[in-house]
């Protein structure tokens, strides 16, 4: 299955996919795209021999034009799955509709709790004892699509946002890779797909 990854930052989540033993077996990463040029995620892709591209909002008149351009660039690679791995933009209908049911996002909190760009900070501020990460299908909302899998992470008394986020990311990398492999397997063997 052809997997296209979108990332906006350091790309440690992307790196877990690039390092997965399932890469090149159940699925392959056909390209890595970003909304920002020069982010480390693009370097990680290049080092792994994966094609990269950037579609930056600043280059377009408005967000719908960016959505359309990003969808067109992604479509060029004919992905079976689009994976948002630390992609920090909200995707609008032109993109969501183009890849409906096959765009996966990972969020560093137990949705529906703490959606949005500061899920780790919000969970810590709320004083939860357990948080975690969620992998879900992307729909037109923000962090609202059908949940595919989740993993719990305990909050430690001396945690700050960085330490808690690092601990979540360790679990999140495993969770996302597992879900991508499962979806790829289901796409390859539709007859054996268990009813959800
Ligand atoms: C991940 O925890 C992701 O869920 C969140 O930001 C982090 C991305 O980290 N949106 P990285 O860029 O993959 O290192």
Q: pLDDT of 81-102, one tens digit each?
A: 999 999 999 999 999 999 999 9
DSSP-derived 3-state class of residue 151: strand
For atom 4 of ligand 1, the residue with the nearest CA is 107
Q: Is the ipTM of this complex over 0.95?
A: yes
Alpha carbons 130 and 181: distance in angstroms, whole number: 26
Pocket lining: 84 vs ligand 1, CB cutoff 6 Å: no
At 122, list the tokens: 């919000």
3-state secondary structure of 170: helix
Q: What are phi and psi of 40, to 5 degrees?
A: -60, -30
Nearest to 176 by CA among 142, 137, 130, 124: 137
Q: Which residues of the chain have pLDDT under 50?
A: none
pLDDT given at position 149:
98
Half-sphere exposure of 83 (CA within 13 A, CB side): 32
In the residue annotation, 107 being an active-site residue is answered as: yes
**What does pTM read for this prediction?**
0.96
């Amino acid at each position: 299955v052809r997997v296209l990854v979108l990332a906006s930052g350091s790309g440690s989540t992307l790196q877990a996919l690039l390092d997965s033993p399932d890469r090149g077996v159940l699925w392959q990463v056909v390209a890595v795209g970003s909304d920002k040029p020069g982010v480390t995620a693009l370097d990680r892709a290049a080092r792994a021999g994966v094609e990269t591209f950037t579609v930056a909002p600043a280059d377009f008149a408005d967000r719908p034009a960016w959505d359309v351009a990003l969808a067109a660039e992604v479509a060029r690679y004919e992905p079976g799955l689009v994976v948002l791995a630390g992609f920090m933009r909200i995707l609008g209908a032109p993109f969501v509709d183009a890849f409906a049911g096959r765009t996966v996002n990972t969020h560093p909190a137990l949705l529906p709790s703490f959606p949005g760009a500061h899920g780790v900070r919000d969970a810590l501020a709320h004083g939860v004892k357990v948080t975690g990460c969620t992998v879900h299908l992307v729909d037109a909302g923000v962090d609202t699509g059908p949940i595919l899998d989740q993993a719990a992470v305990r909050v430690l008394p001396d945690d700050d946002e960085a330490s808690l986020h690092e601990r979540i990311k360790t679990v999140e990398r495993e969770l996302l890779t597992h879900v991508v492999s499962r979806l790829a397997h289901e796409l390859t063997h539709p007859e054996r797909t268990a009813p959800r």
